[in-house]
Amino acid sequence: METIWFKKLTENGYRLTHPLKTVVEVFSTSKKSLSPIEIFELAKTKNPRIGLVSVYRSLEKLEEIHLVQRVHTPLGCQSFVPYSGKHEHLLLCSTCGAYQYFTGDELIGELMKTIAEKTGYEITDHWLQLFGKCPECQK
C-alpha cells in the first residue's frame, strides 16, 4: 500500500516529506478508523519530531487525491480510513473503530426511490455509514 500511495502522491506533484511518509506508514499498519489525534500519537512513535499541523496537512493531501476518506464516528468527531477506490458503504465499530466496506446499492436504490416518491426530491447521490460492534468487540 505504501509504495502505491507514494507513487500517487509524487504523480500529483507532492514531495514525499518525512511527516507525509510517516502518516502513510500509520495508515498502512492500521485496521481501524483513525482520528487526526490518534494518527498524531501513532506517528510520534515513528517520528518524534512530527507536529500535529503536519498530520493535518498530510491528511488534506491524502484526502485531496482520494487515498483516504473522512468518516464520522458515533461520538460526532471525524476519523479517516483508506479510500476503497470505488463506491462502497462503511461499517464502523463504535467500540474499537474497526471498519469494513460493503456494497448494497440495489437495496439502497429502492430506499432512495421510495424516499424520492414520498418527498418529491430528486435524489442524486448518497453516502451511508452504519455503526455497531464488530465481531471482536461482541465477545
Per-residue pLDDT of the chain (139 residues; tens, 9 = 90+): 778 999 999 999 999 999 999 999 998 888 899 999 999 999 999 999 999 999 999 999 999 999 998 888 777 678 999 887 777 788 999 888 888 988 877 788 888 899 999 999 999 888 788 899 999 999 8
Confidence (pTM): 0.78
Which cell numbers in the block locate residue 57? 496537512
For 34-54, write each residue's pLDDT tens digit.
999 999 999 999 999 999 999
Ordered domains of the chain (ranges, CATH): 2-132 (1.10.10.10)
DSSP H helical segments within 30-104, as ranges?
A: 36-46, 52-64
Q: How far apart are CA 27 and CA 70, in angstroms?
A: 13
CB contact set of 33 (below 8 Å; sequence gap of 6+): 71, 73, 79, 80, 81, 92, 97, 98, 99
